[in-house]
Structure 1
Amino acid sequence: MSTMVPVLMSLLLLMGLANTQYGRYSLSFHYIGVSRPKEGYPSFQVTGYLNDLAFLHYDSESQVAEPLGPWTQVKGMVDWENETQLQMARENTFMETLKDIIGYFQDGGDHTLQGKFGCELQDNNYCGAFWTYIYNGQEYIKFIREIPAWFPRQTKAVFTKVKWESEGSVQAAKAYLEQECPQMLRNYLQYSKTFLDRQDAPSVSFTSQEGPGNIKTLKCIAYNFYPGPVSMYWTQEDYPLETDEWGDIILKEDGTYHSWVTVKVPSSDIGPYFCHVQHSSLAQTLTVLWNEGQESGAETAS
């Protein structure tokens, strides 16, 4: 029994690694620091993302790194005590950088620094990474792996480039993006593919609004779907209608998406009008009939 357990664990690990072979996945971290935070808001916070889903949060108020969403139920993926210590150290470095940049500009007032970095895997192979800083809403400096070097995007960022490169950050950043980050992502995928690969079919609802000139706007809303890519359009019977507006595909707090599409039609025309939704969770296009007065109803893909 004692020799069988390690063998089984090895097989399970290999199976987990094998499951990461196909698909495109990303790991990224978004940092934000503010020089004068409003009361009740942290001066520093970070959110970690696997693909588009937030799995980690830390801020200067709680000073605790914590799992988010379905990852609150996952055990063993992250050593949260170690992660807390790591984020505390990064907080100190990040806020010191913000202080330095404010000094370079010699400007008082409220200032914000954002840092975004991460990597991607395609079929378990490293396929890209990024690292950039944004100061007061404008890109400040970014890392170019191919050189490698920090590339200033604002004049004052030359001071940051000189400071960081004199401290040896170029090789450290390159090694993180090309080695440490991809390996971390591979490890996380052993625990996370169930969430990242899921397919949630869209539900559909309608609204309508009378406008000037005897024109009516029909809106078809798709919601509660995952992943994000979706295609929507209207037809009158079998004839496609010109789209008035497309809504952005927006990620909600519950980890699903919603979007919408509208058309303008004569107020006197009762149709029939159909909304069509195409999504990876559906074996075929979801087609839903709009009826006058149906706005409170909804259809769910089967």
Structure 2
Amino acid sequence: MSTMLPVLLSLLLLVGLANTQDGRYSLRFHYTGVSRPKAGFPSFQATGYLNDLAFLHYDSNGQVAKPLGPWTQVKGMMDWEKETQLQKAREDTFMETLKDIMNYYQDGGNHTLQGRFGCELRDNNYCGAFWTYIYDGQEYIKFITEIPAWFPRQTKAVFTKVKWEREGSVQRAKAYLEKECPRLLRNYLQHSKTFLDSKDAPSVLITSQEGPENIRTLKCDAYNFYPRPVSMYWTRPGIPVETYEWGDIALGEDGKYHSWVMVKVPSSDTGPYLCHVQHSSLAQTLTVPWNQGQESQAAGDQ
């Protein structure tokens, strides 16, 4: 037997958890290169993110940098022709790096290289950056801005470190992360804070499932919320209930998040049990009850 409890919320932010309103914003890029892509799939693709929202995409098939999501309606934030040329140049360099690494390992098979780099501002001031490469799912080399230097994470990455440092990569990487990236982010924010500061309150769904050994599973799902930070937990009235399992906070294709929390209780226990959800879009903690055989709805203050 299953009890389903949908709760749809649409109120604006009053108070809540830490979020983009505390003055933190990030710009990051994710690059992926594949030595032997499947038919029809690009060998290289790049996606740009402001906070956790994708705003730019480029790949080797189309070879055109394009805006994504609400940024398709934004005018003046970027010169997309220049951005296309930049991404083409980065594609060439990135795929050359992939070939170099394969040569270091003397392996001409199917391999994947990923690049992750970006920076963060807090109250409009630079507060951190990162740059790392991942080869076949394992960290290969990363940049340490404090030294500054490229730090090998695999044995063969020493060859990459020597090559890049001989070419002056250390100075360029440090200048990009600490100066150019924050400059770009400040410029992008002039056109993007409306989207980045938006709030979407969670919908909540409770399900109950009978299991073996007279144990019932209660699962509380929160979905369609933004931004990412969320807190979820179960109680009986006034008594915390030990959590059996938490779900990851997952980002959907629509730019909204989903998570869940699960507890195990005796099948003979009819409740009530309470699922609590805290999110920056809510004026107060949302508390949703479960009672065996009973459906109920709840919504936060509008």
- Give the direction of change, closer, same or farther, for the CA distance of 1:300–1:64 in structure 2 (3 Å limit): farther
| Alpha-carbon distance in 1 for matches of 2:192, 2:82 | 20
Tell whether 2:211 aligns with 1:214. no
Deviates more, 1:165-174 or 1:88-97: 165-174
Deviates more, 1:130-139 or 1:263-272: 263-272
| Alpha-carbon distance in 2 for matches of 1:205, 1:280 | 19
> In the alignment, which residue of structure 1 is the partner of 2:99?
99
Tell whether 2:176 aligns with 1:176. yes
* Amino acid in the other structure paired with 2:218: L
In structure 1, runs of 5+ residues without a counterpart are: 1-19
| Alpha-carbon distance in 1 for matches of 2:48, 2:179 | 18
Asked if structure 2 preserves the Cα contact closer than 8 Å seen for 1:142 and 1:152, the reply is: yes
| Alpha-carbon distance in 1 for matches of 2:288, 2:233 | 11
Asked if structure 2 preserves the Cα contact closer than 8 Å seen for 1:203 and 1:300, the reply is: no
- Give the direction of change, closer, same or farther, for the CA distance of 1:294–1:37 in structure 2 (3 Å limit): farther
After TM superposition, list the pairs within 5 Å mapping 1:1-302 onto structure 2.
Answer: 23-292=23-292, 299-301=298-300, 302=302
Asked if structure 2 preserves the Cα contact closer than 8 Å seen for 1:21 and 1:123, the reply is: no
| Alpha-carbon distance in 1 for matches of 2:248, 2:40 | 31
| Alpha-carbon distance in 1 for matches of 2:297, 2:202 | 10
* Amino acid in the other structure paired with 1:122: R
Q: Could you list the runs of 4 or more consecutive aligned residues of structure 1 that deviate by over 3 angstroms after TM superposition?
A: 291-295, 297-302
The C-alpha deviation readout for 1:239-272, integer Å capped at 9, x for no partner, is 2211111111111111111111111112122212
- Pairs aligned (count): 282
In structure 2, runs of 5+ residues without a counterpart are: 1-19
User: Percent of aligned pairs with the same residue?
Assistant: 80
- Give the direction of change, closer, same or farther, for the CA distance of 1:264–1:89 in structure 2 (3 Å limit): same
Deviation, structure 1 residue 108: 2.2
| Alpha-carbon distance in 2 for matches of 1:51, 1:294 | 40
Deviation, structure 1 residue 237: 2.6
Give the TM-score taking structure 1 as reference length: 0.89
| Alpha-carbon distance in 1 for matches of 2:293, 2:206 | 9
| Alpha-carbon distance in 2 for matches of 1:35, 1:229 | 36
SS in 1 for 2:128: strand
- Give the direction of change, closer, same or farther, for the CA distance of 1:294–1:259 in structure 2 (3 Å limit): farther
Asked if structure 2 preserves the Cα contact closer than 8 Å seen for 1:115 and 1:132, the reply is: yes
Deviation, structure 1 residue 298: 6.5
* Amino acid in the other structure paired with 1:224: N
Deviation, structure 1 residue 47: 0.7
Asked if structure 1 preserves the Cα contact closer than 8 Å seen for 2:21 and 2:197, the reply is: no
| Alpha-carbon distance in 1 for matches of 2:83, 2:297 | 43
* Amino acid in the other structure paired with 2:244: D
| Alpha-carbon distance in 2 for matches of 1:224, 1:294 | 24
- Give the direction of change, closer, same or farther, for the CA distance of 1:245–1:83 in structure 2 (3 Å limit): same
| Alpha-carbon distance in 1 for matches of 2:139, 2:96 | 18
> In the alignment, which residue of structure 1 is the partner of 2:3?
none
| Alpha-carbon distance in 2 for matches of 1:119, 1:180 | 10
| Alpha-carbon distance in 2 for matches of 1:262, 1:271 | 15
The C-alpha deviation readout for 1:103-148, integer Å capped at 9, x for no partner, is 1110121111111111111111111111111111111111122222
Asked if structure 2 preserves the Cα contact closer than 8 Å seen for 1:232 and 1:278, the reply is: yes
Please provide the CA RMSD for this pair: 1.8
SS in 2 for 1:271: coil
Deviation, structure 1 residue 294: 6.1
| Alpha-carbon distance in 1 for matches of 2:59, 2:91 | 9
SS in 2 for 1:62: coil
- Give the direction of change, closer, same or farther, for the CA distance of 1:260–1:21 in structure 2 (3 Å limit): closer
> In the alignment, which residue of structure 2 is the partner of 1:11?
none
Higher RCO, 1 vs 2 (CA within 8 Å, ≥6 residues apart) = 2
